[in-house]
Amino acid sequence: MKLIAGVDIGNSTTEVCIGDMQADGSIRFVSGASRMTTGTKGTPANVGGICAALEEAMDKVQRPVSDIHLVCLNEAAPVIGDTAMETITETIITESSMIGHNPSTPAGAGQAVGELIFLEHLGEGIKGQPYIVAAAAVHTYEEIAGQLNAHHGRLDIRGLILQADEAVLVENRLVFEIPIVDEVRHIRNIPEGKQAAIEVALPGQTVRMLSNPYGIATLLKLTPQETRSVTPIAKNLIGKRSAVVIKTPHGNIRENILPAGEIYLHGDREAMVNIDAGADKIMAALEGAGLIRDISGQADTNVGNMLSRIKIGMAEVSEEALDAVRITDILAVDTMAPVQISGSLAGETCMEKAVGIAAMVKTKQLPMERIARRLQRELMVNVKVAGVEAVMASLGALTTPGTQLPVAVLDMGGGSTDAALIECDGTVRTTHQAGAGELVTLLIQTELGLKSRISAEQIKKYPMAKVESLFHMRLENGQMQFFQESIDPRYFGHVVLLTPGELLKIEEDIPMEKIYNVRRDAKRKVFVRNALRALREVAPDHELKAISNVVLVGGSAEDFEVPEMLMEELSEYRIVCGRGNIRSSEGPRNAVATGLVLSYLGGK
C-alpha cells in the first residue's frame, strides 16, 4: 500500500489529492485539501502552503505526512498581473482652477458667476459686484449663514463654496437662495479675486453648463482659444452633481500627455507595438510574433517600467539573476482607470483609458526543482516534479462522468489559463496563457476605483442586490425578493453582495448597474478572450470547430457566471462545454492534483 500525493501550486490556492495505490495496480482516492498559496507561485516560499495542505489532507485519514510514499508537484510558472496606462491625459491646473465632484449633500440648484471672495473678507466687498463666497471649515454653519444674511442686502452674493459637509445646514438658515457646493478639501487654494462659475444640478441630474466647453465659455465669457483650453476640464466634469470652474488669466491650464510606451516582442519574428494602439493590436502583434522568447518595454515609459518591475520582482523572489528572468506571454485588455487630477481642490479624479496586462514570467532554471528539494528536506519524503499543469489537469478532468476522448480541458486559475487537447491515440497538445482570475480582480478594482482588493475579489465572486426597503431587495437581474422579517437597517439603501449565509455591504457609493457592467465586462475581456485564444492554440489546424468537447476546471470554473459565458460563446462552434466534476465529487477543483496522482500509474 502506497500513499501518493498530488500537489497543485496555483497563484491563489495550493490543492492536494491523496491516492492509495492498491495491490491490483489501481488508485483509490482517499483525501484532499486546499490552502492559500504562500508566496509567489513557483518560488520556494510555496513550501509553507504545501506543508499545511498536506498535513490537513493526511489528518483526514489520521495518518502522518511521513507515511506518504511520493509527493508529485506540478510545473508552476508564475503569472504576475499589473496595469499599464494607455494615452493618459493629466489635467494640470497650476492655480487650482476647477472643482467637480459628487458631494452627498450639495444644496440649491442652478448656475452662478461671480468674483471669488473668502467669507472673512465680505466686509471689503464692493456693492454691485457679483460674488462667489468661499468659507473654510474654521467657520461654523451658523456663523456662515449669519454672515451671508448680514451682507445680503449690501452685496450681490451669487453662490457659496464650503470646505465642510454643511451645504444643507447653511441653506436652511439663509434668507435667500443660492447654489452651494461643499466638501471642497483644499479650499484655501482657491485664488481669491478670480472669476468663477458655479453649478449645482437638481437631484437625479448632472451639471450641464460646466460639463460643456461652450457652456463654460458662455458663463465666463471666454475667447475661442480659451474655450479650447477648458475642454479637458469640461470632460472631467461630465456626470458630476456639482462643479466650479475658475477663470485663470495666464494660460495656467494645460494637458500633459504621459508616455505609455512600446512593447517589444522577441519571438520567431521580432515585433513592436505601442500600447496606445490598444489591447486588440497588442494581442494581434503577439500572435504574429510566433513563439515568444521574451517581452520587454520601452525604457522610461509606463509599460517599460511595469515590465521591468515584474522582472525585478521575480528575480528577487526566485533568487535568480535578472537576465535569467523572461516574460513568455502576456494578455492585454482595454480598461478605464481613475487618474488623480493635479491641482484639484476636492480630490477629483477622471477616468482615462488604460491597458490591463497579465504577464507570464519564467526563469532559466526550473524553480520547481528547488521547491522539490526543499520540500523533501523538510518532510523527509520523496518529492518529484511530475508534469505540466495542462496535461495533469486533463488527466484529472477525465474523471468527470460523461467525458470521453478526444477532449479539450480549460484550466482557469488565478493567474493563468491552461488548455490541453487529448486525442484518442493519447497525443496531447498544451498551451499556457497568462491571465485569469487575478487580472479580473485587478480590472474590477481599477475601473470602480476601489481602495480594497478584497472588495474587488468579493464583487467578482458574488451576485448583488440593492436593499430598497427593510422588507425587500432588488436583485441584479431585476427580480424582487421579499422578506417576512426585517433586513438589518445597516443595509438599507445600499448595494449588497449575496454571499452564502450573510449580506456584505459595498461601502463605496457606486450604482449597482455600473458594478454589474464592470464585473461582466472584466470577465469577458479576460476569461472569454483567453479561453478562445488557448483553445485555438491546441485545436487541430487552430480551428475551434475541430474541438467537440471542453471541460472547464480550476478555481475560476466555480464562478457563478463565467462557465455560462463560455458555453454561450462556444455554442457557435457546436462545442459541448461545461464545468468538470473531478472524481464525481470535487466539482471543477482539484483536477491538476488528481492528475498528478494518476500520472503515477504511467501508461496503465
Binned at pLDDT 50, 70 and 90, residue 253 comes out as very low
What is the extent of the structural domain holding 475? Answer: 451-507
Q: In what order do the strands lie in the sheet with 2-9?
A: 27-36, 13-21, 2-9, 68-75, 382-388
Separation between Cα atoms, residue 590 and residue 550, nearest integer Å = 17
Q: Are residues 109 and 247 in the same domain?
A: yes
| pLDDT tens digits, one per residue of 415-425 | 889 899 999 88
Binned at pLDDT 50, 70 and 90, residue 77 comes out as low
Decide if 57 is inside a domain: no
The residue ranking higher by pLDDT, 89 or 40, is 40
Largest Cα span, the chain: 103
Cis peptide bond upstream of 224, omega within 30: no
Whether 262 shows a pLDDT value over 70: the answer reads yes
Domain total in the chain: 3
Quote the pLDDT of residue 350: 64
- Rg (C-alpha) for the chain, rounded Å, is 30
**Count of positions (residues) in the chain:** 604
CA 56 to chain centre: 32
Q: Are residues 324 and 228 in the same domain?
A: no
- H-helix or E-strand spanning residue 281: helix 279-288
Closest alpha carbon to 490 in 504, 476, 510:
504
Query: What rounded mean pLDDT belongs to the chain?
Result: 86
Whether 533 shows a pLDDT value over 90: the answer reads yes
Return the CATH number at 276.
Answer: 3.90.470.30
Cell readout for 548 is: 467537440
Q: What is the mean pLDDT of residues 38-46?
A: 85
Closest alpha carbon to 210 in 101, 369, 129, 65:
101
- Look up residue 603 and give its amino acid: G
Strands 576-579 and 416-422, by their bridges, are unpaired
Encode 130-165: b = buried (16+ Cβ within 10 Å), e = exposed.
ebbbbbbeebebeebbebbeebeeebebbbbbbbbe
Separation between Cα atoms, residue 246 and residue 256, nearest integer Å = 20
Q: Are residues 100 and 248 in the same domain?
A: yes
- pTM for this entry: 0.76
Range name among 288-297, 343-352, 410-419, 595-604 with the lowest pLDDT average: 343-352
Residues paired with residue 25 on neighbouring β-strands, in sequence order: none
CA angle 89, 91, 334 (to 5 degrees): 25
CA 281 to chain centre: 21
Q: Are residues 269 and 346 in the same domain?
A: yes
CB-side exposure of 363: number of CA atoms within 13 Å? 25
Range name among 20-24, 99-103, 270-274, 526-530 with the lowest pLDDT average: 99-103
Cell readout for 406 is: 478526444
**What angle, rounded to 10 degrees, do the helices at 367-379 and 47-60 form?**
50
On whether the CB atoms of residues 125 and 96 are closer than 8 A, the answer is no
Quote the pLDDT of residue 92: 42
Return the CATH number at 459.
Answer: 2.40.50.140
Separation between Cα atoms, residue 556 and residue 535, nearest integer Å = 17
Separation between Cα atoms, residue 407 and residue 591, nearest integer Å = 14
Which one of 335, 363, 391 terminates a domain?
Answer: 363
Cell readout for 579 is: 464545468
Decide if 159 is inside a domain: yes
Cell readout for 127 is: 456693492
Decide if 585 is inside a domain: no
Q: Are residues 242 and 271 in the same domain?
A: no
Q: What is the mean pLDDT of residues 433-439?
A: 89
Which one of 363, 395, 421 terminates a domain?
Answer: 363
**φ/ψ (deg, to 5) at 18:** -110, 125
**φ/ψ (deg, to 5) at 497:** -100, 135
CA 198 to chain centre: 35
* Helix ranges restricted to H, 85-238: 141-152, 167-171, 213-220, 224-229, 231-236
Separation between Cα atoms, residue 443 and residue 475, nearest integer Å = 23
Separation between Cα atoms, residue 294 and residue 82, nearest integer Å = 17
Q: Are residues 263 and 338 in the same domain?
A: yes
Q: Are residues 156 and 235 in the same domain?
A: yes
Distances (CA, A) of 510 to 449, 466, 517: 10, 11, 12
Q: What is the mean pLDDT of residues 300-304?
A: 83
On whether the CB atoms of residues 110 and 179 are closer than 8 A, the answer is yes
The residue ranking higher by pLDDT, 421 or 101, is 421
Whether 573 shows a pLDDT value over 80: the answer reads yes
SS (HEC) of 63-93? CCHHHEEEEEEEECCCEEEEEEECCCEEEEE
Cell readout for 44 is: 520556494
Q: What is the mean pLDDT of residues 393-415?
A: 90
Q: Are residues 205 and 297 in the same domain?
A: no
Whether 570 shows a pLDDT value over 70: the answer reads yes
In DSSP notation, 498-529 reads EETTEEEE--S---HHHHHHHHHHHHIIIIIH
On whether the CB atoms of residues 159 and 74 are closer than 8 A, the answer is no
| pLDDT tens digits, one per residue of 9-20 | 988 899 999 999
Cell readout for 553 is: 476546471
Decide if 501 is inside a domain: yes
Terminal CA-CA length for the chain: 17
Return the CATH number at 209.
Answer: 3.50.30.70
- H-helix or E-strand spanning residue 304: helix 302-318
Q: Are residues 227 and 279 in the same domain?
A: no
Separation between Cα atoms, residue 89 and residue 341, nearest integer Å = 10
Q: Are residues 265 and 230 in the same domain?
A: no
Residues paired with residue 35 on neighbouring β-strands, in sequence order: 14
Decide if 301 is inside a domain: yes
Which one of 304, 338, 363 terminates a domain?
Answer: 363
Decide if 22 is inside a domain: no
- H-helix or E-strand spanning residue 280: helix 279-288
Decide if 516 is inside a domain: no
Whether 97 shows a pLDDT value over 60: the answer reads no
Separation between Cα atoms, residue 482 and residue 287, nearest integer Å = 51
Q: Are residues 181 and 242 in the same domain?
A: yes
Residues paired with residue 325 on neighbouring β-strands, in sequence order: 363
Q: Are residues 285 and 198 in the same domain?
A: no
In DSSP notation, 378-440 reads HH-SEEEEEEEHHHHHHHHHTTSTT--SSEEEEEE-SSEEEEEEE-TTS-EEEEEEE-SHHHH
Decide if 557 is inside a domain: no
